Every structure is written in structure tokens, then in C-alpha cells.
Amino acid sequence: MTEEPIRVLFLCTGNSCRSQMAEALLRQRGGERFDVHSAGCIPSGVHPLTIQALAEMGIDAESQCSKHWNVYLHEPPFDYVITVCDYAAQICPTFPGEGRRLHWSFEDPVAVPGSEPERMRAFCRVRDQIGERIQQFVDTITSR
């Protein structure tokens, strides 16, 4: 008998960076053990530096798109709903049948001022922080 994948939804404000990174990284590191999605309260499109930062790790995120979280309100229940920005954590709706709700606070690299290389460093820094948290999450879940 095949075990059902663990359903995870990552939420942030714009669904342009942090939640997109978390989705892509968990998909890569967790494989078929996870059914991963992301969304935001004010979807603003996937930021080009998000796609570039993920590409540097060999992850193709070109097909990912920004979605409003209301598209998931009537989906099958999620095992984990994880907010990755403080604003989303404050206003996140309750999802029917919601499993564990977690909050992982990360800096918003979209808000970092500076030159393109400075901004890219911010995206890569946040990507790496999210990657560490994702790896801890995967290790914890798979060791059960």
C-alpha cells in the first residue's frame, strides 16, 4: 500500500519569492513524499530574481506561478500550512481541516534596496536560509 504524500501549503504576501522558494526547495528535497503548493494574499507574480536564485541551485522554477490562497480553500486538507512572512501569518485564513500551522519568518528580499548584485545576494541569502529550514523539516518528517 502506497502512503499518501504529505500535503504542504506555503503562504506569504505576494507569492513572489519566499513561498515560491520554499515550494521549489521542498519539491526538490522531499520528492514524491510531499504534495507541495504555495500562494499569497496579494499575488504579484514570481519575481525574476527568485527564478534566478533557484536556477543557481539547479532548480527550474520557470513554470511556477503566483496564486491567491483562496484557490486552496476548498482543496483536500493540508497536513501543514506554513507562513513564511509575518504579514501572512497575521492575516492567514483558517483552512478547512487544517493540520499543523507553522510560521517561519524570513526577510523579504524583494524589499532589499541596492544594485542588482546586492539584491541578488539578498535573494540567495534568503534562499539558503529557507533551504536550511526545509532540510530540517524534511529530516524531521522522514525520521518519523
Active-site residue list: 12, 85, 92
As a residue count, the chain comes to 144
Residue 40, amino acid: G
Report CA Rg, the chain. Answer: 14
What is d(CA 84, CA 61) in angstroms, rounded to the nearest whole number?
18
Query: How far is residue 76's CA from residue 86's CA, in Å, rounded to a whole number?
Result: 25
Residue found under cell 496564486: 67
